[in-house]
Structure 1
Amino acid sequence: MDIKSYFEALDKKFTAFGGLEGGGITRLLYSTEWSNAVQALKETLEQDGFEAEFDSIGNLKGKLVGSKYPEETIMSGSHIDTVVEGGHLDGQYGVLAALTAMQALKAEYGQPLRSLELLALAEEEGSRFPYAFWGSKNFFNLANNADVETIKDGNDVGFVDAMRQCGFDFRSTDNIYDHIKAFVEVHIEQGKVLETEEKSIGVVNGIVGQKRYTVNLKGEANHAGTTPMGLRNDAVVAFSKIASQLTDRVREIGDPLVLTFGRVDPVPNTVNVVPGEVTFSIDCRHIDQDALNAFAEEIEKCISDVAQQEGVNFDIDLWMDEAPTLMDDKLVQTIGDAATHVVGETDYKTMPSGAGHDSQIFAKYVPTAMMFVPSINGISHNVEEETRIEDLIKGVEVLKHVLYKLAYEE
């Protein structure tokens, strides 16, 4: 089997579902484009000899039944939805890479000892409706139906209406997952680390924890011309000091700690008034929980100290506090060994993921690991998202080696 030709044909076929004239894809949960894609994928799986079925909410599974241990499942896949005007690799690559690797194994070695199962998760991005990880949360019986019963998309279409129009509905029974012995997700990096370090494969050892804050500073709005500098309670000046001091501190501590001030809303936000109030966001991430907690203390102390110096009041709302998720050590080693076999020990890097993935849900319940391939210029969630075909195929080859080890060897 020609892996490159097979993968390229799959990618061309499925990129057409929601494909945009200028490149990229918009394929949102329970849209026509999404529905057409998952139905075509089911047909493709069946044509290629898989037993394919949807669960209640639209997760698609395709199985090659094991000959000796059919009750043990080795699973690989990713999500099938995209962001608005996204690329053709985020999510889709993990699904098509798994299908390509499993097809190649079947062609070369025949029936596996343990069942191989491809999983195309219905949704991960949260791009159409304000709810993320609908696919993986339902897979592990974590989704609360009440959370989506009243939500709507930007066109005022209800979540439940869209779901039922595609032929799916709420889960009526709990799923059983104790047969899954390993889950391996392949993904584009969505960053510049691998490309910068000229590595072909990233072996992911964990997904970073995140703390997200909304901070409000209140000073005093006043005339920009008649208020002396020494008599001002300028909320934006206080914000700028906080941003500067914390950014310098993060650079001093070093990777993998990252900090982002992504949103800043000053009031009254006009040219000739000293800003009396500002609300801003903080996104802080680290792979180590203790390090993340320690820097969180520094964040709060810095805000308090600067607020006192500048004569402003402050309010801190920690509205997201997600712990880091570590990958299974044995699977990480298995992927590392496979990467060494395929690309050599100097051409892969063990690294954390700075973005969230379905694997962080899976890792709480089944042995889980991830691997990355490089992203050109680190671009993702963008129609310009791309990876060299050579790197995409190396990812498939490494995954094939991993799945062989897990499903074909005693």
Structure 2
Amino acid sequence: MNIRSSFEALDKQFTAYGGLEGGGITRLLYSKEWTRAVNVLKETLEEDGFTVNFDDIGNLTGRLEGSKYPDETIVSGSHIDTVVEGGHLDGQYGILAALTAMKALKEEHGQPLRSLEVLALAEEEGSRFPFAFWGSKNFFNLADEEDVKDIADAEGIEFERAMQDSGFNYRQQDNDFNNIKAFVEMHIEQGKVLESEEKNIGVVNGIVGQKRYTVTLKGEANHAGTTPMGLRNDAVVGFSQIASQLTERAREIGDPLVVTFGRVDPVPNTVNVVPGEVVFSIDTRHINQEALNQYAEEITQTIKNVAEKEGLEYDIDLWMDEAPVLMDEHLVEKIEEAANEVVGESKYKLMSSGAGHDSQIFAKYVPTAMMFVPSINGISHNVEEETDVEDLVKGIEVLKQVLYELAYKE
């Protein structure tokens, strides 16, 4: 079996479901494009000899039964949804890489000793409805009706209606995941590290923790021409000092700490009025919980200090506080061994993931690991998202070797 041609055919086929004229995909949870994609994937898996099953909410598995240890299952896959005007690799690559690798293993080695499963998770992105990880959270019985019953998309379509129109419904019974012995997720990096260091494979040893804030600073709106500088309580000036000081501090601490001020909304947001209020976001991430907590303390203290200096009131809302998640050490070692065999020691990198992935949900319940392939120019969540096909193939070859070690060896 030619891995490259097999993968490219699958990628071309599934990119059409939600594919955009200018490239990329929009395939949102429970949309017509999503429904078509999962049903065609079901047919494809059946044609390739997999036993196929949908759970209640739309997670899809394709299973090759093990001959000796059928109750020990090795799972690989990712999410099938995309962001709006996203690329053709984020999520989709992980599913099609798993399918391609398992087909090749079946062709070369026959029935595995342990069961192999391709997994297409219904949703990860949170792009249509304000709820993320619907697929993996249901996979581990973590989500329920109360979480989504009152939410709707931008067009006012209720979550429940969209789900039922696609042929699915709320989880009727809990999933049993106790037979899963390993979950391995293949993904594009969505960053520039591997490309800049000329590496073919990223072996992920952890997913960063995240803290996200909404901060409000309140001063006094006033005339831009008649209010002297010394008599102003300018909320945007306060914001600029906070952003500057925290950015400089993050640079001093160094990688892998990051901080981002992605949203800034001044009020009244007009050219000739001193801003009396500003609402802004802070997103900070680190792989080490203690380091993340220490920087979070600096965030709070910096806001307090600047607000006092500039005569501002402040409110700090920490609305996301996710702990770092470490990958399974044994599986990380297996991936390193496979990467060394396929691309060589100098061409893979042990690294953390700065983005969230389904693996962070899985890792809390089953042995989990991830691997990356490079992203050209680090671009993702964009129609320009791309990876050199040779890197995609190398990723599949590494995954194939890992799955062989896990499912075919005693």
Task: State the TM-score, normalizing by the size of structure 1.
Answer: 0.99
Q: CA contact under 8 A between 2:15 and 2:25: conserved in structure 1? A: yes
Please tell me the residue identity of whatever aligns with 1:237.
V
Partner of 2:76: 76
Give, in whole Å, the separation in 2 of the partners of 1:377 and 1:401: 28
Partner of 1:137: 137
Give, in whole Å, the separation in 1 of the partners of 2:360 and 2:370: 10
Further displaced range: 285-294 or 156-165: 156-165
Matched ranges for 1:285-364 at <5 A: 285-364=285-364
Structure 1 residue runs of 4 or more that deviate by more than 4 Å after TM superposition: none
* SS of match in other structure, 2:57: coil
Partner of 2:105: 105
Partner of 2:382: 382
Please tell me the residue identity of whatever aligns with 1:272.
N
Q: CA contact under 8 A between 2:93 and 2:188: conserved in structure 1? A: yes
Q: CA deviation at 1:278?
A: 0.9
1:186 aligns with 2:209: no
Q: CA deviation at 1:384?
A: 0.5
Partner of 1:215: 215
Q: CA contact under 8 A between 2:144 and 2:171: conserved in structure 1? A: no
* SS of match in other structure, 1:138: helix
Give, in whole Å, the separation in 2 of the partners of 1:321 and 1:363: 17
Tell me the percent identity.
77
Q: CA deviation at 1:224?
A: 1.4
Partner of 1:126: 126
Q: CA deviation at 1:162?
A: 1.2
**Mind listing any 5+ residue stretches in structure 2 that lack a counterpart?**
none
Q: Deviations over 1:339-392 (max 9, x none)?
A: 000000010111111111000000000000000000001111111100000000
* SS of match in other structure, 2:346: coil
**Mind listing any 5+ residue stretches in structure 1 that lack a counterpart?**
none
Q: Deviations over 1:267-297 (max 9, x none)?
A: 1111111111111110000010000000000
* SS of match in other structure, 1:346: helix
1:59 aligns with 2:59: yes
Q: Deviations over 1:157-208 (max 9, x none)?
A: 1111111111111111111101000000000001111111111000011111
Partner of 1:238: 238
Give, in whole Å, the separation in 1 of the partners of 2:95 and 2:72: 20
Please tell me the residue identity of whatever aligns with 2:261.
F
1:49 aligns with 2:49: yes
1:25 aligns with 2:11: no
Q: Deviations over 1:219-239 (max 9, x none)?
A: 111221122111111111111
Partner of 1:261: 261
Number of aligned positions between the proteins: 410
Q: CA deviation at 1:308?
A: 1.1
* SS of match in other structure, 1:211: strand
Please tell me the residue identity of whatever aligns with 1:240.
S
Q: CA deviation at 1:245?
A: 0.6
Q: CA deviation at 1:94?
A: 0.1
Give, in whole Å, the separation in 2 of the partners of 1:237 and 1:106: 63
* SS of match in other structure, 1:284: strand
Give, in whole Å, the separation in 1 of the partners of 2:235 and 2:87: 39
Partner of 2:2: 2
Cα RMSD, aligned residues only: 0.7
Q: CA contact under 8 A between 2:144 and 2:170: conserved in structure 1? A: no
Give, in whole Å, the separation in 2 of the partners of 1:216 and 1:159: 31
Q: CA deviation at 1:108?
A: 0.7
Partner of 2:227: 227
Partner of 1:284: 284
Give, in whole Å, the separation in 2 of the partners of 1:67 and 1:5: 29
* SS of match in other structure, 1:244: helix
* SS of match in other structure, 1:85: coil
